[in-house]
Each structure stands twice: as C-alpha cells, then as structure tokens.
Structure 1
Amino acid sequence: MNVHALQRDPLPCLRRVPGKKPSADEIYPRLFDAILEQRIAPASRFTEESLGERFGVSRSVIRRVLAKLSQQQVIILRPNQRAQVAAPDAQQTRQILEARRMTEMTVVQLACARATAAQVRQLRELIARERDCIERDQRGPAIRLSGEFHLQLAAIAGNGPLAQFLNSLVPLTSLVIAQYERRTRACCAWQEHVAIVDALAQRDSGTAVALMTQHLDHLETQLLKNH
C-alpha cells in the first residue's frame, strides 16, 4: 500500500454528511477505527487541516480528538511537527500488558462487588456488538469495542484513578493488536469476555480474576509469539 497516498487522503472511506457538523465525540471513534484498520498507517503523518477538511469541522474540534488520542498514547504529538501514529515495540507491548494485568485484577474484583444487573446487561450488549463486528469482518470497530469492554469494567469498578490509568493503556493495546493482527491474528476474544461477565454476574471474584489473568496472558502470547 502506498504510504504517500494514505498521507494525501488518509480517510478514503469516511465522507462528510451534508449539513451536519460532527462533534469531537462522534469523530473520535471514526478516526480511531481508521487508525486501527490502518487506513492511517503506522508512522504516517497527518495534519489538523487535512482531518478537518475530511470531516468538515474546524481545527479546534480535530485538535480535541487528537489531544485525546495523544493522552491515550495512540498518536504522538510534538511541537511544530505533524501528528504521528504510535508504533509500540515488543518491549513496550510486554510492559503495557504487565501493567494492565496488575491493574485489571483489582478492577474486576471491585466490579464483582459493585456491578448491578443493568450494568451486566450493558456489558453483554457491548460483547454482542463486538461479536457482530467480528462476524462482519469490521476489524477496526471490533478491536475498539473489545477495548471498550475493559474500560466499561473499570467504570463499573468505581475507582477513578484506576479507570484513568487503564484509559492510557487499553487504547494503546488496541493499536498494538491492529498493527500485529495480520501476522498473528491476535484478538481480545469475545468468548473470554462472556466468561468474565458470567463470573461477574455471580459475584465470583476469584473466578473473574483468574479468567481476566488468563485472558490477558492469551493476548500477550498471541501478540509476542511472532515478534
């Protein structure tokens, strides 16, 4: 694929809707999906102007989206330089997953104690959307929704600092999955998400922690085995 062509037209599949000005919240998942699907390639550079023209919004709106992606370490912002998609190496990936493993053990324990029936239903609905995207071969949205499952668990846990910390790790993990996917077929399996939610619904924290640890171990093995 021609990287220069991607730089000229980084979002060929996204078109503006006449008469509508998308918000930053609407643009964020669409831009993130484009990155995950490598319609914006790793290490490619793009500008606020080019994205603003594509979405038909001001640079200030695009700037807010890029700032969020930068906080999540998905893109790199440097003064007087174009934004660039991050490209974590094997060591960084191992450290990210190690940090996630330690954090999410606590998160799932807290979530088991606090989850309401409505929140459990919301998690199951999220998994159903993830599964539907996988079956439709919509890889970008599927990877993003898989990450959102973990972030929603953190929200249920009710610990703000832990949720904020995971919000800096989960999107970056999604980026790694997308970048290594073609070689490893790695994914954050929806079936394992179902098992975690089943344990959550039973308030079985021991099983939930064991399943989460196994889940992240599987992901690390898949991502790093061919690196």
Structure 2
Amino acid sequence: MNSFASAPHPHSTALPLSRLGMPVEDLYPRLFDAILEQRIDTDSRFTEDSLKDMFNSSRADVRRVLTQLAHEQIVVLRANHRPRVAAPDRELIRQTLHARRLAEITLIRLACQRPRVDDLKCLRTSVEREKRAVEQDRRGAAIRLSGEFHLRLARMAGNVPLANFLGSLVPVTSLAIARSAGQTHSCGAWQEHVALVEAIERGDAAKADSLINRHLDHLEQTLLGSDLEPCVVG
C-alpha cells in the first residue's frame, strides 16, 4: 500500500504462486508498505536474504519485487552493493509533481468522457480500501492505496501510454510523502477521491479539473512547503 492481496498491482501481469505458497503479488504491497512506514528506510542494511526471511518468501520472489521497485525508483540496485531505499531530492519531487499535474489534468478530462459503470465501481472500491487503511492507522497502506486510486483512474481514461507515464510518477510521490514530516497524517484524501468519482460519474469535467488541481495543490504544499497542515494525498 495487506490490502493489495485482493487485487494485483497495476503494473503487473498474472503472477505465479511462490514456492512457499504465498502469491508473489502479495509481496509487492507488503514490501512497499514496509518502506512507506519506514520500517525499511534509507539507513537500513538489508539484503535479498534478509527480506526473504522477513516476508517468508523465496529469494527469487524478493529479487523480482526489488527489480520492480527499482524500476519505480523506490529502491536502488547496483552490482556488488546491497539494495537501498531511494531518497528523492527536492528537485526530483518538484519535477515529478509538475509532470503529474500535466498528466492528470488530461487523464481526468478523458475519464469524464467515458465514465463506465464498472470503472466507477472499481474506483469506489479503491477509495473504500484507502478509507479502511486510514481508519486502521495503516499509514503505509493508506499512502500506497491513495496512489493506486490515481493509477486506476488513469487506466479508466483509456490512454495507455499516458497511464503508464503516470505509473512512473506515483510511486516516487508516495515515497516522498512517506519521507516527509514524521507526523504527516491523512486529512481527507479519501474524501477528495470520493468527490472526484462523483464528478466523473456526472461527466462534469470542469468540476473534476478543479478538484484534481486542488488535490495536487495540497500534495505540492505538503512536500515542498506551505503553511497548510500536512496531509497525505497521493
């Protein structure tokens, strides 16, 4: 974000069961959540073997998930070095948020043109899972699921290249949120997501555009500095 056990990660295809009996697809959210909750952080000295033991998985499965997280710029993999958690700097975060705004404004407008019932149901399920994670104080899952909402919305828009582009930006944003002020907490991201779904269902592109801009304003102010109370949005 654990919660992804019921739905595959958006970048993955159907994954086999690991030799230990746990679906490989479950390892990604468990490991990502541990990073977002800073149980594994930039100072952690971990290896494939230590992660294998921590998550009761196979080394091959751990390697596969680490490779995916490296592709998403969450971990850094270098030959003859231990894996480490990435530490996006302020400039990377600024550029990532700028790119997200450009992409999401277009994706929101496209989504409003084709609000299919199944897509809306999927978005509402995503929001409900995010809400439960917040209520259960599962911070890592809440951050991850907030980002997952945006990825599901992007796929709903029907532009695969643009959705894939957003998929390269959201995980970095999630990591930045997790690394922001230690007391950062949710202040209503899932409610904002509910409002977005309602605007999309009505096909109200102007309202959806306003909501996504305000949503991203909160995120930018949280990560790059503002006088507003910190808020987990993603």
Category of TM-score, reference length = shorter chain: 0.7 to 0.9
Deviation (angstroms), 1:117 = 1.4
Q: Which residue of 2 aligns with 1:6?
A: none
Deviation (angstroms), 1:65 = 0.4
Instruction: Look up the equivalent residue of 2:171 and give its one-letter code.
Output: P
Structure 1 runs (4+) greater than 6 angstroms displaced:
none
Between the two proteins, what is the percent identity of the paired residues? Answer: 52
Structure 2 CA distance for aligned equivalents of residues 47 and 208 of structure 1:
44
Structure 2 CA distance for aligned equivalents of residues 209 and 150 of structure 1:
14
Instruction: Look up the equivalent residue of 1:130 and give its one-letter code.
Output: E
* 1:161 aligned onto 2:161: yes
Structure 2 CA distance for aligned equivalents of residues 61 and 85 of structure 1:
18
What are the Cα deviations for residues 168-204 of structure 1, in whole angstroms up to 9, with x where unaligned? Answer: 1101111111110425447671111111111100011
For residues 78-89 of structure 1, what are the structure 2 equivalents within 5 Å?
Answer: 78-89=78-89
Structure 2 CA distance for aligned equivalents of residues 37 and 93 of structure 1:
19
Contact 1:88 1:176 in 2 (8 A): yes
Distance 1:36 1:196, change over 3 A: same
Contact 1:47 1:82 in 2 (8 A): yes
Contact 1:42 1:179 in 2 (8 A): no
Instruction: Look up the equivalent residue of 1:35 and give its one-letter code.
Output: I
Structure 2 CA distance for aligned equivalents of residues 28 and 158 of structure 1:
25
Contact 1:48 1:63 in 2 (8 A): yes
Q: Which residue of 2 aligns with 1:172?
A: 172
Q: Which residue of 2 aligns with 1:39?
A: 39
Structure 2 CA distance for aligned equivalents of residues 91 and 170 of structure 1:
16
Q: Which residue of 1 aligns with 2:132?
A: 132
TM-score, normalised by the number of residues in structure 1: 0.86
Structure 1 CA distance for aligned equivalents of residues 96 and 45 of structure 2:
24
**Local SS of the residue matching 2:84:** strand
Q: Which residue of 1 aligns with 2:29?
A: 29
**Local SS of the residue matching 1:115:** coil
Deviation (angstroms), 1:20 = 4.4
**Local SS of the residue matching 1:182:** coil
Structure 1 CA distance for aligned equivalents of residues 86 and 186 of structure 2:
19
Q: Which residue of 2 aligns with 1:214?
A: 214
Which structure 1 segments of 5+ residues have no match?
Answer: 1-18
Q: Identify, as 1 or 2, the structure richer in helix.
A: 1
Instruction: Look up the equivalent residue of 1:75 and give its one-letter code.
Output: V
Structure 1 CA distance for aligned equivalents of residues 191 and 75 of structure 2:
30
Structure 1 CA distance for aligned equivalents of residues 112 and 59 of structure 2:
42
**Local SS of the residue matching 2:57:** coil
Q: Which residue of 2 aligns with 1:182?
A: 182
Instruction: Look up the equivalent residue of 1:154 and give its one-letter code.
Output: A
Distance 1:56 1:38, change over 3 A: same
Structure 2 CA distance for aligned equivalents of residues 221 and 37 of structure 1:
21
Deviation (angstroms), 1:142 = 0.6
Structure 2 CA distance for aligned equivalents of residues 220 and 112 of structure 1:
24
Instruction: Look up the equivalent residue of 2:170 and give its one-letter code.
Output: V
Q: Which residue of 2 aligns with 1:112?
A: 112
Q: Which residue of 2 aligns with 1:103?
A: 103
Which moves more between the two structures, 151-160 or 54-63?
54-63
Contact 1:21 1:56 in 2 (8 A): no
Q: Which residue of 2 aligns with 1:91?
A: 91
- What is the aligned length? 209
Instruction: Look up the equivalent residue of 1:70 and give its one-letter code.
Output: A
- Kindly report the root-mean-square deviation, in angstroms, between the aligned alpha carbons of the 2 structures: 1.9
Structure 1 CA distance for aligned equivalents of residues 130 and 205 of structure 2:
24
Structure 1 CA distance for aligned equivalents of residues 157 and 43 of structure 2:
35
Q: Which residue of 1 aligns with 2:66?
A: 66
Which structure 2 segments of 5+ residues have no match?
Answer: 1-18, 227-234
Instruction: Look up the equivalent residue of 2:134 and give its one-letter code.
Output: I
